[in-house]
Structure 1
């Protein structure tokens, strides 16, 4: 009886370690500055004023994020769900009138629909509930 109990405990411990290490590595991987390389129908979108790349930053310790939408900026909090789930909650956003709102709307839509993420080779993928990529960001720091 003892060997099977010990075996069950070891199997449980191994599985727990695998899931925990994946969650930790994903979570700690968010804690960077990211350049937006794809959102909606846009590749490498730029800010409207200065024509600079759009960036997002995630701070794991405060569970906060900040980013550029193209013309306006947004900040908020995020919560992690399981090993790869994430919910982005916008708290504040600037409300400037922009000449074109296309990138802005695609960015807002992606943030609202994001339910999961994955990080592969320095690229952060924000995914909807079906696993479709909504936004791709490249680590820059």
Structure 2
């Protein structure tokens, strides 16, 4: 009886893990053609892994507003997309909560002010300055 119960449990676990990995793979392989109306989670900033932070950015197609969280404070501003994946972010303002570690947030806001272009590759977006290495790398986590 214990063997049957163990086998049923193992089969259920196998089906559950297969379903989860297929869903994750489908999301990661989905072709994204616009940065707008997607929640982009910050995963790399200036070449360093910051995936443990809650930093994200969203570009709202309806009103050309950008908003997000720098890992502590919320921010917002405006953006303009031009031909050739050129982007300008401006009027970036953030709340002023004091946090223990402000390094990621400070660098993130600086990157937003410096970035002049972006690139998309499936579920990944990078913000760049000219042809330098990516300033920030994001992963798509939600679409509207």
**What TM-score comes out, normalization by structure 1 length?**
0.70
SS at match of 2:98: coil
Question: What is the RMSD of the two structures over their aligned residues, measured on CA atoms?
Answer: 2.1
Q: Runs of at least 4 residues of structure 1 off by over 4 A?
A: none
Structure 1 Cα separation of the partners of residues 140 and 130 of structure 2: 23
Question: For the Cα contact (< 8 Å) 1:26–1:118, is it kept in 2?
Answer: no
Where does the alignment leave 5 or more consecutive residues of structure 1 unmatched? 1-24, 48-52
SS at match of 1:133: coil
Equivalenced residues, count: 112
Question: For the Cα contact (< 8 Å) 1:127–1:133, is it kept in 2?
Answer: yes
Alignment of 1:128 onto 2:129: yes
Q: Aligned ranges for residues 38-49 of structure 1 at < 5 Å?
A: 38-47=44-53
**What TM-score comes out, normalization by structure 2 length?**
0.69
Q: Aligned ranges for residues 1-141 of structure 1 at < 5 Å?
A: 28-47=34-53, 53-141=54-142
